[in-house]
Structure 1
Amino acid sequence: MTTTSNVNSNSAVNDALKGGSSSAADLQNNFLKMLVTQMNNQDPLNPMDNAQLTSQLAQISTVSGLQTMNETLTALLSQTAASRAMDSANLIGKTVMVPGNAITVADGVATKIGVDVPSTADSVTVQVLDKNGNVVRNIDMKGQTAGVHDIAWDGKNDQGNAVPNGEYTFKVSGTAEGKDVSAIALVYGKVQSISGDSTGVLVELGDGKTANVDDVRRIS
């Protein structure tokens, strides 16, 4: 008589969980077909015992339940993302501070910039660089408490002369007892619109610049 080996329950569960494209009903139907085939072809002298049958039925119940839970969680996450996008629409027209390092100087006036200091720092320094990467201004902010701080740059170089109009970048650094505190450079931008992608809800700041809404440090 032809016999088949027992259904490997753990393997079936793992395969089912990896196969996210299958529905809970499909998983259950496929598992039951395998189980019926096994029972029809089992060795009558060594039949499947009740404990084994109960265990395998429990396994498919677990798979079905987990698959249904995954689908429910996915739906909830989608609804949450949509709700967050709607809530974030209130940011349109507001000015926000987000991570970035670009500065524009026009008519001797530089765009506003800032720094996020994660923990109290003994020293915070800023370097402004031109388009060629040359440092044009060093700013010593001295010690700063943890939090978001504006950086005062008057658009002048270290010699006190106004820098040419154009695009610049800046770097920030902070230390506490000689250790880096991972200061983060921030820029201001006016929110033009709200969008979303796989990373979450995004604020559109114009000129192709975007930032995740979770990265907004200040709203004004």
Structure 2
Amino acid sequence: MTTTTNVGNADIYSSLGLAAATSTGAAKKNDALDQADFLRLMTTQLQQQDPLKPMDNSQMVAQMAQLSTVQGITDLNTTVAGFQQQMSSDQILRGAALVGHEVLVPSSKFALESEGDASGVVAAPAAGMVTVDITDANGTVVRQISVEAKAAGEVAFAWDGKDANGNRLEPGSYGIKANHTATNGDSETLSTYVQAPVESVTVGSDGLFLNLKGLGTAPIDYVLRIS
């Protein structure tokens, strides 16, 4: 797996032992006020107050409380930023460990290879019969698979890649639709989950994504099982 790192001009200058150039030739001053600035403002306020009308004690206490609140928020933001960085690194390691493994993810399509089967599962709401229709790119049903659900729970199904006449179909993407018919005749559509190998991982602004062979990308949170 190849990892790409974005390198800015500042990083290039740093790697060459040079200081990054700016339009003014000086570092930009931070516009945010820190604790020292608040203390200087309060000291100046005390020095300039009218001796005949000194600052009210309650106002002084309120300003001190505001100062403590600002400092506390700053410290909290620093701590949260550290947690986020640690969680991001941990997530990358978790994703990298999945490369080469197969994962079970929600999907409405199969990725058929030139050899081998394609498999998946559904969650049957009760005992009955589960019917899985496999369709080609045109939406035509090329194979129908029926599996008995003896009770409510997970029901596995597999497709050997052949049509109803026993002919091996071309590799590619095939749609799947599952339906459950209960013993009392009630019928409902089920969500389908398929097995797919993880080829690589991608770090995005919204988190970690798995690149699944033949299926595209899926968030790591979609993974229900690893094998």
Alignment TM-score, normalising by the size of structure 1: 0.63
Mapped partners of 1:175, 1:39: distance in 2: 81
Mapped partners of 2:73, 2:191: distance in 1: 41
| 1:114/1:185 contact within 8 Å kept | yes
2:176 paired residue number: 170
138 and 208 in structure 1: CA distance in 2 versus 1, 3 angstrom threshold: closer
| 1:105/1:168 contact within 8 Å kept | yes
Letter in structure 2 aligned against 1:197: G
Aligned residues: 191
**Structure 1: 5+ residue stretches without partners:** 1-22
46 and 186 in structure 1: CA distance in 2 versus 1, 3 angstrom threshold: farther
Mapped partners of 1:46, 1:185: distance in 2: 77
Mapped partners of 2:148, 2:45: distance in 1: 76
How far the C-alpha of 1:169 sits from its partner, in A, is 1.0
Mapped partners of 2:62, 2:153: distance in 1: 56
35 and 167 in structure 1: CA distance in 2 versus 1, 3 angstrom threshold: same
Q: Provide the secondary structure at the position in 2 that maps to 1:26.
A: coil
1:218 paired residue number: 225
1:130 paired residue number: 136
1:12 paired residue number: none
57 and 153 in structure 1: CA distance in 2 versus 1, 3 angstrom threshold: same
Mapped partners of 2:141, 2:87: distance in 1: 45
How far the C-alpha of 1:58 sits from its partner, in A, is 0.9
How far the C-alpha of 1:127 sits from its partner, in A, is 2.9
More helix by share: 1
Letter in structure 1 aligned against 2:74: Q
1:186 paired residue number: 193
Question: Alpha carbon RMSD of aligned pairs, Å?
Answer: 3.9
Mapped partners of 1:206, 1:128: distance in 2: 19
Residues 1:91 and 2:98 aligned together: yes
Query: Structure 1 residues 28-37 or 93-102, which shifts more?
Result: 28-37
Residues 1:75 and 2:79 aligned together: no
Give CA-to-partner distance per residue, 1:78-112, whole Å, 9 cap, x none.
112212322443322222222222224466x6742
How far the C-alpha of 1:54 sits from its partner, in A, is 0.9
How far the C-alpha of 1:155 sits from its partner, in A, is 3.8
Alignment TM-score, normalising by the size of structure 2: 0.62
How far the C-alpha of 1:37 sits from its partner, in A, is 7.3
